[in-house]
Structures are given as C-alpha cells and as structure tokens.
Structure 1
Amino acid sequence: MEGNRSMKGAVLPGNSTVELRDFEIPKPGHGEVLIQTKATTICGSDIRCIYREHVGKGPEGYIPGTIAGHEPCGVIVEEGEGLRRFHKGDRVIVYHISGCGLCNDCRRGYYISCKSPYRRAYGWQRNGGMAPYILAEEKDLIALPDSLTYKDGAQVACGFGTVYEAIEKIGVSGNDAVLVTGLGPVGLAALMLCRAMGANLLIGVETNEARIELAKKLGLADHVFSPEGALEKVLQLTGGNGVERSIDASASDPGRQLAIRATRDRGKIAFVGEGGTCTFEPSPDIIHGQKTIYGSWVTSLWKMEELVERLVRWGIHPEELITHEFPLEQASDAYALMAGGSCGKVAVVFE
C-alpha cells in the first residue's frame, strides 16, 4: 500500500444523487485494519435516511461528506499495531456499528444500541464501504468462511443479520407457518432463512409486482400474494387459524395490520421494517388473542457470528438475492435502481 494512497469514494449529498470524491487511503492505527473492499450492498435505510434527503437523527445521523455504505465485506490488506485475532489476508465482514465497547449494550454485543458519544456507524458517521478500501476496528470484524462469498458477507453485514435476530426472537421451526409482509431484500431474506430453519408453510405479501415475480422466481415462498384479500387467503391456507409466526418488513400500516391479524392466537410477530406507523385495536388484535409483538433492530455481534456458521451448515448463499451489480463508477445507477424498488438486493462490487 505504499506509493499512491488516494481513492474514490461515494458520498450521498441528500438530493437523490451520488458524488464520487477523492479520499486518502487511511493508515490503520492501534487495533485497526485496512480492508480492501470486495462487495458492498445498498440498504433501504441508506435510501430512506440519506439518499433522498438527510433526515436521519441520532444513530441515523449522516455526516455530510462521509463515504456511504454500511454493508461492506472484504479482505484485510494492512495491519495496525496491537491486533489480537485478525491479520492480513483474513476475509472479513464489517459489523456496521462501531460501539464504544464499554457500555452494557456493547458488552452484550449490541453495538447497535450503544448510546455513547463514541458510537460511530460505518457509512453514517465514519467512512463506509462505498470505496476500494475501508478502515475498520478489529473489534467490529466477523470472520468470513471460505465457503461464503464476499457478496454473501455483505448481505450478512446488515440485512440477513437483522432478519436472523428477529427470527430468533420469535422462534421459527418445522412446526410453523410463517407470513412475511413486504418482500424487499429484508423480506426475501426472511423467507430464505425461515425456509432453512424448517418452516412448513411460507407466505409472502407484497405490493410491488416486480418483487412479487422475483419472490416467485426464486421459489422462496409457497404462496405469494398482493395485499388485496390477503388476510382471507392466509386464513384459508391455515384452516382458519392464521400463521404461528409473522414478520413485517413492509414498514407500512396495512402490512403491519395484516401481520398482526393473520397471526393465530398466542402467536408471535416481529416488526423489522423501519419507519411508518401502525394502527390496530389492542383488545381484538392483541389482547384477546394473547399475541406478542417484538421489535427487532439489527443484531448482536455473537448472533451475526452464529448466523455465518449456520449459513455454512445450511448450504445457503445470501448473494442469491442480489439481482443487480455495479462497479463503483456506476454507484449513481446502483442507488437510483434501489430507490426505485423494482429489484432485489443491489451490490457495488470491486475487483
């Protein structure tokens, strides 16, 4: 890495555009590594909070001029001093929130919930993966097994890790019929993981025709419906009882209502989609059916490591949900496509 230490990085001005700017390739300090980025995928939160306009606050507060991309995966090419586990040549996923490491949430592995002023998320408050190199702290890394691709790893970095956490909260097994509302990348990931975990009936509901066709093409669900009449169809498929488990990835009021009402008595529901509202009647919708709603936000470090291990055991590859790939020079096209919604996951890949 000696000699020319400059690179291009993609930043998001907040007006539905992407700019490529010049950055110095950083030198890793104590406890840090320099990673050569191999793949970075685009998350819906990038579109919602940064690409369209800088509406984020707190954990989702984007610092203007920061290199975007919080779903990076690559290989370590340069070591700082004081490393304890990872070394040059290791393939790694970057857990995209760098917590303080000392608060109660961080000690539990939930960097996402760190409230310290030292918390910095990659692609939000510190440079992320939309560049050929990314500086990361060793404590934020998760090993990528040889049997998983870099694009698999990028998917784990946020989307699949988020879904896995939600599934673990509500518990999914071969006993369960599962409904997923909203079949964007997160909803598709939910179907893929629930299938691997043995769910005996998988139902997806989505408004976007392109995503309905994608879900059918990938064969991730047993049934895929548009919202019209979806509740009656789910009840018909489940003998009038409803599903044991449901996951909302739509972030819409109608999607969340469907997830609640299509779940049987004593069933469990996970809300994963960010933003939006939810309107329901507590007594008939929740209390009388003794249902439980779980909120789930990203995942913990140890759960993400566990997911990686299980992906290998299950023999599944998250990269199968990537429908479009772009080089960094075409990052503008990549973000525009993701913002349009008529796609699966979108990735920026590096040589």
Structure 2
Amino acid sequence: MECSEIIIGGDTAGIEWRVPVFRFKGSDAAAPSVHIQAALHANELPGTALAHFLIERLRRAEEKGTIRGDITVVPQANPIGLAQYHFGEMEGRFDLGSRTNFNRDFPLVALAERETLLDDLDRRPAADRLKRTLLHMALGVDLVLDLHCDDESLQYAYIDEAFWPEAADLASALDMEAVFLSDGESTAFEEAVGHAFKRQGGDRLKTVPGRLAVTVELRGRRDVYPDIAMRDADGLWRFLAGRGVVTDAAFEARPYAGPAVPLDNIEMVRAPAPGTVLFHRDIGDRVKAGDLLATLITRPGEADGTLAVKAGHDGLVATRSSARYARRGDDLMKLACREATRNDRKPGTLED
C-alpha cells in the first residue's frame, strides 16, 4: 500500500489542506482500476467509516496477493469543508467562501482533455483546485464510486442510464433498496466523470461497458456505526470481487431485486407552508396516492392551524428530512414511484 497526500494551498497565507490517499497496486494490468472517495460533502461520514474498514481488508488482501486491479481510496476527500463550522455546526455541503455546493461545478471535459484539468491550477481558488485534482484522479481509472449519504434515507444510488443495467451488480452487492437512474446532465462529481466516460472521442456514447461512475447514498447522516460500516465495506468488497478487481473464491453473484426508476419518477414532497413537521410515514414505507405523509403545524394553538401533506403518487419513501421545522418549499421526502410524477423537470440533480 502506498500512502500519500494531496496538498491544497489555502487562499490566505499560512493555510494548507491535506487529503490522504491510499493506493493499492494490482497484479493484473488487464483488471479494472477503481477510484473510491468519501465525504466530498464533508458532513456525510458513513462513507468515511466504510472506507476505513475497506482499507483494512485491502491491506490483508495485498498481503495475500489477491488484489488484481489498481485501487485508489480517498476516505475523507474534503478537508476544506471539514474545517468549516458555523455556530458550532459543520457546514460540509456548501463552501462558505464561494457559497457553492462542494459537489457541483466540476468541469465537464472529454476524456482526452483530462490533463487540461490541471492547467493553471495554482491560479485557482482552493475549492476549485480540490475539485479538479479529484476529477483528474478519477478520470484515470475505469470504475468511480463517490460515497455520500442523504438526510434520513434508505440505501440507494444515483446511476447514469449509460451504466445501467451493468451497474446492477453494485446495487446487489450493497443491498440497495432503490436505484435512481440519472440523466447525467449536472456538474456533480459523478456526472462529470460520466460526462468524460461518454465522450471518449467521436459521438457521445449511449452505453459505456466496463466503465462506471456512481454516487452511492449510504443511508442517512446519522447512520455511522461500526456494524453498518463493516457490512457496507463487505458489500463493496463483493462488488470489487465480481468485477475482477480482487480475487475472492467465496464470491457469489446475486441479482438486484429492488426498483430502478428514472429521476422523473421521483416525487419531491415539499412543504407548502412553513411549520413544525409531524411525520406520519417513515423511510421504507410504501404509500398510496392520497396517504397522509406529514402534518405541518403552521399556526400553533389555532383551531385550523395545521396543514396535511399527502402523497401525490403510489411510491416508496426513500428519504426523509431530519429537520422538524420546514420553511416554505423545503424538501420533506423523496418518493420513488412507478410512473412519472411530473413532466417539467429540468435535466440535472434533484436538489441543490
């Protein structure tokens, strides 16, 4: 195992950021290569815990000579966000300096333009240098996994339709309860990788066999426990074994049995008015159109001071907000539905 650091100089004097990188050299140049990173949103830590236990297992595999493909693991990809606290709480998702989501505004380049990501790097702000360095690393491999989590959530993933259904093996290995099929039209890290993979010279590819760029949502932000992290690390190991990145004689392929739905089929349940949130349904529940999902206490103490929030479609409650006060328009839930829930969604991400 090789341990190194990405060093990102600060935008003010006397500051620098260090990003630990763990590399395992494979024995077979023909085996797939992998980039795994966690906590790009610095306050989403289930992936960091998973990476910790996965690295332990990879160390043992390296001693046994069972690593076939090159593997890079970045267990805490965003030290800039990790240090940004606001009134005692880590921000993590948005850069306080630029007010930009740490998982947005990644450059969209073709694969052949990979080296241009590093042009004039020293002239760019620290957050941009971090993004370009991570993307440059990722575009040098075959399989890219960006580990995130939601607020309160089932285990699910965003997977570009260009990588589906080949990526069903990842969904199976990690026991995902849903897959959201994305359109690859945002500037998030995973979609920037997918943009390059689909543009390898000539026309845009509709499918990219042997390649993968995926955002894995490892349940909710509070789901950081040793047993869960070890189980998820085992799941990721199974994926690596199935793709031939590592050797495991005990590996057995399993089909993915959960739903895979396009983003047009995700009902974003939003608060129609501000108020205290009383949830009636939990993640994992299956609901019918018209079912009561939450009650908003909009005017406490008044006879007509509540507002019902109901499901617009049949679906699976995939995520739920952990906040118990909502502003007007705040996201309360995501429902994974069998049919399209709207016809006016713009391409790109579901949330900022």
TM-score by length of structure 1 reads: 0.26
TM-score by length of structure 2 reads: 0.26
Higher helix share: 1
